[in-house]
Structure 1
Amino acid sequence: MESMLGACGAGRGGVLWVSGAVASGKTALLRAFGARATANGALFLQATASESESVLPLGVLGQLLLGADLPEADAERATRLVELIAKDAQRHGTPEVSPALAMKVIPELCGTVLKLAEKRPVVLSVDAVHHADSQSLDCLLYLARRLDVSRVLVVLAGNSGFPDGSQQLQVDLLRLSGVRNIRLRPLRRQGVADLVSTLGPDLAQGRKLVADLYRVGGGNPLLTQALIEDQRISDAPALVPGDAFAQAVNTAVYRSDASARHTVWGLAVLGSDGSLAELVEVLGTTREAVQRGLRALNEAGLLDNGRFRHEAGRTAALRSMEPAHHAHLEARAAQVLHEHGAAATVVVRHLVAAEPVDAPWALRTLLDAAERALADDEIELALTCLHTARDSGADARQSLAVKAELTRAGWRVNPSAVAQNLPELTAAALGGRLGTRHVDELVGHLLWFGKVDEALDVVDAAEKHGAPSGPDGTKGPGLDNTRRWIACAYPGRPGSVAARREGTARHDDAAHTGDLTRSPHQRTANLIETVLEEADDGVVVRAEQILQSTRLDDRTLTALVVALRCLVLADRLDKAALWCDTLLQEATERRVPMWQALLTSAKARMDLRAGRLAAAEESARSALTLVPAEGWGVAIASPVTTSLHVSTALGRLDEAAAQLAVPIPDPAFQSPDGLLYLQARGHYYLAAGRPYAALDDFHTCGDLMTRWNFDLPALVPWRTDAAQAYLSLGDDDRALNLAEEELALAGPGRSWVHGVSLRVLAGALAPRQRLPLIGEAVEILQERGHQFELARAIADLARAHRELGDGGRARALARKAQQLERECGVPAPRTKPAADTGSLPGERPWNAHDTQGAAVELTDAEMRVATLAADGYTNRQIAEKLFITISTVEQHLTRSYRKLAVRRRADLASRLSFVAVSCGGEEGVHGEGCDRLRAV
């Protein structure tokens, strides 16, 4: 180039053609050469053609001349000639001008350039000449034929490999003498390494970085520089294309020829799996045009063998499209791939990004792909397919099917998100317009949200409209079994007892057909009915058969959870935990939040029953994190109940009260979960010093369970719970009767109910009579693995030994009980018990000064209530004696329990009597607390 510049100064002009792929450095080369030409005294005139101005007559030549510092006369003449051509084109309404006018104007304009060259060398530089208008190209060719004896050097730069108007110019120029051609090639590895040294001296100069830059950038200077900039910003150990690379791809795409630009867009839409034939059909062009575009893009470094070098390049190419054109290409790709027999999961990825495709095959493809995605646990893809199908303008029947599938898929993530579909689906089912499978799923969704009556109406409508009952499409017990399942899930609904009994009779009549041939829901309904009769080893075997033979999916999840609960009711916590962990691991691996949440809640219940309080609390919290509370429907009672039990057992009554603020839907109290919630709330009231409120909840449990024919101690031992409340009130006789009744109802065996009931029964007896009962309770609870109940039983055993004067035995048992409590998650007391006190779990050693402090803390009203309670008066009697309400008595007792650090009414006497001794003895403590006690 410097040689040609020197020859130009000596009077031998010429033409230099600089070609190369898109963004290969042509513009940078022309700028550098222009600086040298200007430094050597030449007049450097430059222009850059653009695709948008390619129809503007003399647009490029106008840039060269009108932007230069020409003498006034030359500038006026050039302006007049360019405007003359523009007016002629405007008059004809086309970019073409009359040949006669062109033959007159072109020599004059070129003469202006030649006249300038008489004074000093002139360099005309035209970048992107492939976009130049035809009149400017004619001028350049006119000049080229007259440069042998002039001081004019024409430097033209254009993209190689693109068919455009400059191709003919290049052919004509190469036939002339004095024309040179420079072809810019991609950078080699050494060139990439030099760029790194220049632009990123702070980057690690490793071979791997250079190799990665060469592989991703293809030796294209623009792309490689962008990658270096991204690497400097990210400072990541591996090459990560970022925003600079995306912008460079966008620039390269728009600098390309229109045909190549559409080729790269079509390739980006089809992805790496698209064939050449499919790409040609998507673009609606010829095979030769596509191949030419692919060659140019390969040379530019954007592609490698017709494929993007990096996924970031494809993503950037997609982003460079206008949204409307992108959607159109996606629709074309979907149709072409469908016609070529591509899989639905492939076609659908284009349909979801396309403009609406109004064709029957499109809706079928979306539904098929959603079904396949759900089978593969790709929930997000399934939901995307179904949302696209919903918005595709399907007819009413198809729209119902889409909403039913959308409800099924959305339920896996959060049922509340698809609850708005239930009214329309219910109306369709009642009108007989919903398919059998969707009816079955709808019943499950309605039950989930406690809409039992609507679920039964749907079952009635299915029978009325002739929906097949059996799984093979024939009339059979299918809908009858649905009714049985509803009766088991909601035993509190009117008619549930009769429905369950009828189902049991049919089950007995058809027992010879074999339980394994039935559906999981049928078998689980039978199992529940068996549990109500007797939770024996047969229940365990049948529950495990269900768990072994049933695959986890949307339709079987509830049956599997109920089978786990049956193992818990049969007191086989070890087996239940093993199966629950197995199912939970599968649900986690398959990434289904609703499955994980339900199984985690079931695990929380098992941990609670086993006494693993910290684990139970964590599982309950995790369940509500996986699916928010509004998505749980009536099942919200399950994790809330566990949290309420744990907070109460750990003495965190404020947290327990917060759990009571979580709204529980009314239909939940027609289900077993509602019974468990009432039981947990009763224990909270009992711990808070409100025994009458606790009794109300426990007796409500009893009334409901009796009415439902669901009186199952293994589920809720309400008699034992009520007995504990009566013990706190000093009513030992009622406590004794209820505990004995619970033991009789529990039947033979050594279940956890026996252990708990024996411990409570012992509380109503004298210390010496307690020992054998509590000892048996300890054996049972230890054998069954109920750690927290075991700790309570051992603590009661220690208390009995202490009351009998066996301090050494009491201290040893108290330490063991405390150790068990710590293992369950109960925090250690703030003050460690003295070695010689034999303090029980939850108690602390008392001395005179401690007692005085506690007495000072009690108000006069609290002291009066606590003293009367310690004397054996009931809350009602205290209220009558002091002329206050029962609720006020309960509140005073609650605060007294906390201040005196006692857990039950029976402990008040020892505390207050100790205060009396301390205040009245020779070394008694005197002060305000003692004065209050003497006054009482």
Structure 2
Amino acid sequence: MELVERAEHIEELSRLLTECAIRKGHVVLLDGPSASGRTELLRRVAERAALAGGPVLHASCSRAERALPYSVLGQLFRSATVPDAVAAEADALLQRAGSATASDGTDPEHIGPETARLLHGLVRLLLRLADDTTLFIGIDDIQHADPRSLDCLLYLTRRLGSARILVVVTGNPELQPSHPTFRAELLDQPHARRIPLAPLSEAGTAELLAGHFDTPTAERLAPEFHLCSGGNLPLLQALIEDHALSGGVRKEGYGRAVLRQLRRGDSVLLRTARALAVLGEAAAPDRTGRLAGVEPQQAEHAVRLMTAAGLLSGGTFRSEVARIGIVDDLPPAERADLHGRAAELLHEQGGPATQVARLLVEAGRAPQPWAMGLLLEAAEQNLLAGRTEQAVAALESAHRQSVPKSAERAAIEARLVRVRWRGDPAAADRHLESLTAAAHADVLDGRDSVALVRQLLWNGRAEAADDLLEKLRTTAMEPHSEAAAELHDTELWLAWTHPTLARRRQPQPGGSRPAEAPPAPQQDPWCRPTALLAGALVTGRGHEVAGQAEQILRDGHAVHGDAWAEEPLLLALSVLTSAGRSDSVAAWCDRLLGEPHTPYSPTRLALLSAVRADAAVRLGQLSAAVDHAQLALDHLTPGAWGVAIGLPLSSLIMASTRLGHYDEAAGYLARSVPKAMFQSRYGLYYLLARGHHHLATEHYHAALADFRSCGELMRRWGIDVPGIGQWRTSAAEAWLKLGNREQARRLAYDQLGRPGTSGSEARGTALRLLAATSPAERRPQMLTEALDLFEECGDQYEQTRALADLSDAYYQVGDSRRARMHSRRARHLAGMCGATSLSQSLLSLPDEPDDSPSVAESAAESASLTGSERRVAALAVRGYTNREIAAKLFITPSTVEQHLTRIFRKLDVKCRRDLPVELGVGGGEVLASSGGAA
């Protein structure tokens, strides 16, 4: 073992060894806790003494030989450097000493005359060995030496003043030696000294590590290694080996090293360590002693020993690996019994429910009457504190201990499923079959049965959900019970999310509701908002409840309802999407994703990330859409997504297609999806995305089939409303590619006539496609209106397409100046949103060599414009005439001319064509913020 921070000690011992050669004998006590390097230091000094040529006598004491008189002396005289004649004489004296001890008794304070003569004889033998050379005597772990050997050692030390003898003994100050006055008598001698040894400091730890790692690594690891080992040398060696093998702390390495040190102590030490390991943070001196079956003073002493050795810090083990290793070292039955007794002890003393529950879970049994209620209470406390795994463990333990096929067991399992769903919906799937059986057996209560419907649908078990729904619909419920109210709300939610299972006659949002009476105390407060939003979406009146949706999102941190979980947030975001407010959806998702979540829920984060990705697609933020969708899939495994996998996958397919990454989009389409997804609205998103991929890759008939299938499903399900997708305009685009302009025109007109289309992105898309089927002279007007709508919605991708079509339209009517202006803007926007496929198609648009200033220069120069000038410049860049700009800004044409003159002078350009295209980006926002006035 390497010696670090021991140079001064070695130097001091070497000096004393040198003084012994001139008949100045010394006795040294190397005092330090376990694993402080005492034994290694003793060995190094013994090696130096051997090199000097003198005899070296060594003994190692052990607790097992403590009751054997003269056992240490026997070891000394059997050392290899003792002459045979001296060894034989010593052996004879030791045999006589054994008989004398029997007559004197074992009291270390009583030495009879015969024993005294024998001790004198043994000491004379030692002194004879030092007649002509220096004698070194080393005794390790002196606290375990037998009393008679200690008497002999004391007898010797009183005669060392003029002898060539160096006696070095090691001891632990926390352990009481067998001889009650040994330490005091030893250190009272004028030629005796005590050298204290302490565990390594952090600097010493870094020095030790420098022998195994490069200097930067040693300095980086030193704080962590010192914290974990407390400077204990064997533990440090184990940590070094663990780091080399795995880069971490291993139970087989570090954990075993801790166990070896504990086993070197007595049974009290090991029992106390086990009690501490089981109790964990609930450990206290009296509690630890009671659990270990020892006196409190003994437990406190054991704690001091372990603290001095660096095993404990603040009464707890320095590493969780050590605690686990000690617990796992127990036989299973003993381990379970110890945890069970600890739980009873802690409960008896009024310990926290979470700590008692942890012990009950480890014990694997809960025989006491109070245990079941305590486990359930602890589960709720852990859940509120964000400790989901502990909550699940408590619920699983309660479930195992409950009576089979009882209402209590079913309720516990229902709660367990809801908690598991937050972290991993796939893990909850294995409980659904037994819960469904309990619901059909009328063992599961109504509210839990209603919640079970959603869980079955998420996991694609539509048939089982349908059977359960029919049972619930035909079961007599109290008219104003929470179960009846939640079933009513579930019907509204089904109509939007899983329409195939909803009743044929959809309830209206404002219709009668069984729960209009005051809600029951246990009713989920988020059921009613969820149902209200779902009903509004189904009837195409999402814009009417946008205020309620915003309020639900403001309270998003509090939405953790059992039955509905994240549905209120998802539906609120769907309402804003249906109202064409994708920018608000993105902002709310960013805010909710950035907030700390208690309890932590990967499912919640995954769903919000998926909605954020959908909003990014609708805003033309294609790279961001891919990032958010991938993040959503990282939060949950594909199997855990259930039927909702269609939401993130559709965003990945759509964004990758628009980015021109067709192979990646095809890879996403190749992923397996549950068949039940196509019976939910999530399948509609997927169909639309797949159709657009077919459209981009020139598989026009396949694209048309997907769009028409989507439309047929939406009409059949009664949700042919804004908020999901524009299947009509998508199909119209496919018809255009197939050369059927009449069909495209009919679908575009059909879209324009749909409720909720006015002022929305859907109207903009319909106008763009209608323009493609109209005479050239009518196209600019329709495309300009479409562009305004896209700018208002913030969709950069559709703005780019409208600008490209507008450039082509102006070119066809002979207005090349405006054609070039819009083509430049289209290229700029295509680059901003990364639409590779659009960028390539824009190469065919008319343009002239662009010798305009750089983007950075343009931005710097445009900063000098006033607000009025920026609004005029934005419209001029977009191709509006002076008269059109004047009409939009409610000013005179001459005022427009004056503004333009100042703009040209400030930007140092000669005409409109030279204006930076960046001024036209976001023009809609500039106008909106101005209120239309310049």
The TM-score normalised by the length of structure 2 is 0.72
Change (3 A) 1:244 1:223: farther
Instruction: Please tell me the residue identity of whatever aligns with 1:487.
Output: A
Q: Distance in 2 between matches of 1:157 and 1:782?
A: 85
Contact 1:490–1:496 at 8 Å: present in 2 too? no
In structure 2, the residue corresponding to 1:412 is in which secondary structure?
helix
1:485 to 480, 493, 497: 493
Aligned to 1:429: 439
2:268 to 248, 259, 267: 259
Contact 1:678–1:697 at 8 Å: present in 2 too? yes
1:801 to 802, 810, 817: 810
Instruction: Please tell me the residue identity of whatever aligns with 1:568.
Output: T
The farther-off stretch of 361-370 and 675-684 is 361-370
Q: Distance in 1 between matches of 2:202 and 2:728?
A: 83
Aligned to 1:127: 140
Contact 2:25–2:191 at 8 Å: present in 1 too? no
Aligned to 2:887: none
Contact 1:487–1:497 at 8 Å: present in 2 too? no
Change (3 A) 1:706 1:82: farther
Aligned to 1:449: 459
1:706 to 701, 715, 723: 715
Aligned to 1:323: 329
Q: Distance in 1 between matches of 2:636 and 2:323?
A: 38
In structure 2, the residue corresponding to 1:765 is in which secondary structure?
coil
Residue 185 in structure 1 maps to residue 193 in structure 2: no
* Displacement of 1:415: 1.5
Aligned to 2:589: 580
Identity level (%):
31
Aligned to 2:101: none
Residue 538 in structure 1 maps to residue 549 in structure 2: no
* Displacement of 1:70: 5.4
Change (3 A) 1:783 1:769: same
2:614 to 599, 602, 605: 605
* Displacement of 1:324: 0.9
Change (3 A) 1:802 1:432: same
Residue 626 in structure 1 maps to residue 635 in structure 2: yes
2:348 to 339, 361, 364: 339
Structure 1 gap segments, 5+ residues each? 87-95, 97-101, 840-936
Change (3 A) 1:491 1:467: same
Instruction: Please tell me the residue identity of whatever aligns with 2:435.
Output: L
Aligned to 1:279: 288
In structure 2, the residue corresponding to 1:167 is in which secondary structure?
coil
2:534 to 525, 528, 532: 528
* Displacement of 1:323: 1.9
2:696 to 673, 687, 690: 687
* Displacement of 1:455: 2.2
Alignment of 1:148-159 (within 5 A): 157-159=170-172
Residue 415 in structure 1 maps to residue 421 in structure 2: no
Instruction: Please tell me the residue identity of whatever aligns with 2:172.
Output: N
Q: Distance in 2 between matches of 1:523 and 1:199?
A: 61
Residue 696 in structure 1 maps to residue 696 in structure 2: no
Contact 1:369–1:385 at 8 Å: present in 2 too? yes
* Displacement of 1:23: 4.8
In structure 1, the residue corresponding to 2:58 is in which secondary structure?
strand
Q: Distance in 1 between matches of 2:793 and 2:19?
A: 105
* Displacement of 1:674: 1.7
Instruction: Please tell me the residue identity of whatever aligns with 1:521.
Output: C
Q: Distance in 1 between matches of 2:474 and 2:116?
A: 90
* Displacement of 1:423: 1.4
Change (3 A) 1:3 1:462: same
* Displacement of 1:720: 2.3
Change (3 A) 1:712 1:331: same
Q: Distance in 1 between matches of 2:156 and 2:778?
A: 129
Contact 1:739–1:757 at 8 Å: present in 2 too? yes
Q: Supply the RMSD in Å over aligned alpha carbons.
A: 5.2
Instruction: Please tell me the residue identity of whatever aligns with 1:477.
Output: A
* Displacement of 1:738: 2.1
* Displacement of 1:566: 1.5
* Displacement of 1:599: 0.8
Aligned to 2:905: none
Q: Distance in 1 between matches of 2:776 and 2:149?
A: 120
Instruction: Please tell me the residue identity of whatever aligns with 1:312.
Output: R
Q: Distance in 2 between matches of 1:800 and 1:145?
A: 116
Q: Distance in 1 between matches of 2:250 and 2:675?
A: 56
* Displacement of 1:339: 2.0
* Displacement of 1:148: 7.7
* Displacement of 1:637: 0.8
Instruction: Please tell me the residue identity of whatever aligns with 1:486.
Output: L
Contact 1:644–1:660 at 8 Å: present in 2 too? yes
* Deviations, residues 210-243 of structure 1 (Å, cap 9, x unaligned): x99999799x9x73898799899999xxxx9999
Change (3 A) 1:549 1:258: closer
* Displacement of 1:683: 2.3
Q: Distance in 2 between matches of 1:85 and 1:784?
A: 104
Contact 1:520–1:546 at 8 Å: present in 2 too? no
* Displacement of 1:758: 1.5
Change (3 A) 1:481 1:217: closer
In structure 2, the residue corresponding to 1:342 is in which secondary structure?
coil
Q: Distance in 2 between matches of 1:518 and 1:333?
A: 37
* Displacement of 1:635: 0.6
Alignment of 1:351-390 (within 5 A): 351=360, 358-386=367-395
Contact 2:622–2:833 at 8 Å: present in 1 too? yes
* Displacement of 1:440: 3.8
* Displacement of 1:569: 0.8
Aligned to 1:458: 468
Q: Distance in 2 between matches of 1:702 and 1:668?
A: 16
Structure 2 gap segments, 5+ residues each? 1-12, 99-105, 107-111, 850-934
Q: Distance in 2 between matches of 1:796 and 1:198?
A: 73
Change (3 A) 1:719 1:521: same
Instruction: Please tell me the residue identity of whatever aligns with 1:668.
Output: M
Contact 2:495–2:538 at 8 Å: present in 1 too? no
Contact 1:74–1:112 at 8 Å: present in 2 too? no
Contact 1:634–1:667 at 8 Å: present in 2 too? yes
Contact 1:436–1:468 at 8 Å: present in 2 too? no
Change (3 A) 1:656 1:104: same
The TM-score normalised by the length of structure 1 is 0.71
Aligned to 1:735: 744
* Deviations, residues 685-721 of structure 1 (Å, cap 9, x unaligned): 2223233222222222222222222222553332322
Contact 1:12–1:149 at 8 Å: present in 2 too? no
Aligned to 2:825: 816
* Deviations, residues 462-493 of structure 1 (Å, cap 9, x unaligned): 577777786xx567433233233223321134
Aligned to 1:726: 735
* Deviations, residues 766-802 of structure 1 (Å, cap 9, x unaligned): 2123232222222222223232222212222222222
1:46 to 36, 42, 58: 58
* Deviations, residues 803-847 of structure 1 (Å, cap 9, x unaligned): 2233222222222222222222213846984895589xxxxxxxx
Q: Distance in 2 between matches of 1:391 and 1:574?
A: 48
Instruction: Please tell me the residue identity of whatever aligns with 1:170.
Output: F
In structure 2, the residue corresponding to 1:755 is in which secondary structure?
helix
Q: Distance in 1 between matches of 2:319 and 2:747?
A: 76
Q: Distance in 2 between matches of 1:21 and 1:518?
A: 59
Contact 2:57–2:81 at 8 Å: present in 1 too? no
Change (3 A) 1:386 1:103: farther
* Displacement of 1:573: 2.5
Give the count of matched residue pairs.
Answer: 800
* Displacement of 1:728: 1.9
Instruction: Please tell me the residue identity of whatever aligns with 2:497.
Output: A
Q: Distance in 1 between matches of 2:232 and 2:318?
A: 12
Contact 1:229–1:244 at 8 Å: present in 2 too? yes
* Displacement of 1:313: 6.6
Aligned to 1:769: 778
Instruction: Please tell me the residue identity of whatever aligns with 1:645.
Output: M
Aligned to 1:638: 647
